[in-house]
Amino acid sequence: QKKITLNMFLDTIMADPPPQCLVWLPLMHRLAHVENVFHPVECSFCRCESMMGFRYRCQQCHNYQLCQNCFWRGHANGPHSNQHQMKEHSSW
């Protein structure tokens, strides 16, 4: 039975590209970090009056913001286009 040393483990974790099963870890870490973050603004698509999680703000449309759910589903309305650059916010 072969033992896994710390160096072997670190070499695997730090490989470029990382093992496929670990690709989601950074995203999962970011999601866990923002799951309880409150943004006291209204989503421009679904009109929910407060957002939890990530908030996305359009870099072209004045005051156009999407909640995490609407952004991930590709929702857009009015003059906003999914081709516009969005900035992700993890804090208010």
Predicted pLDDT of residue 44: 98
Predicted pLDDT of residue 15: 83
Within a domain: 1: no
| Number of structural domains in the chain | 1
| Pairing between β-strand 55-58 and β-strand 86-89 as defined by DSSP bridges | antiparallel
pLDDT band with cut points at 50, 70 and 90 for residue 26: confident
pLDDT band with cut points at 50, 70 and 90 for residue 17: confident
18-47 burial, b for 16+ CB within 10 Å, e for fewer? Answer: eeeeeeeeeeeeeeeebeebebebebbbee
Whether the per-residue pLDDT at 1 is higher than 80: the answer is: no
**Domain range enclosing 82:** 6-89
> In this structure, what DSSP letter does residue 20 have?
G
pLDDT tens sequence across 60-85:
999 999 999 999 999 999 999 999 99
Q: How many residues does the chain have?
A: 92
**Can you give the CATH number for the domain in which 42 is found?**
3.30.60.90
**Angle at CA of residue 70, ends 65 and 73, nearest 5°:** 135
pTM: 0.73
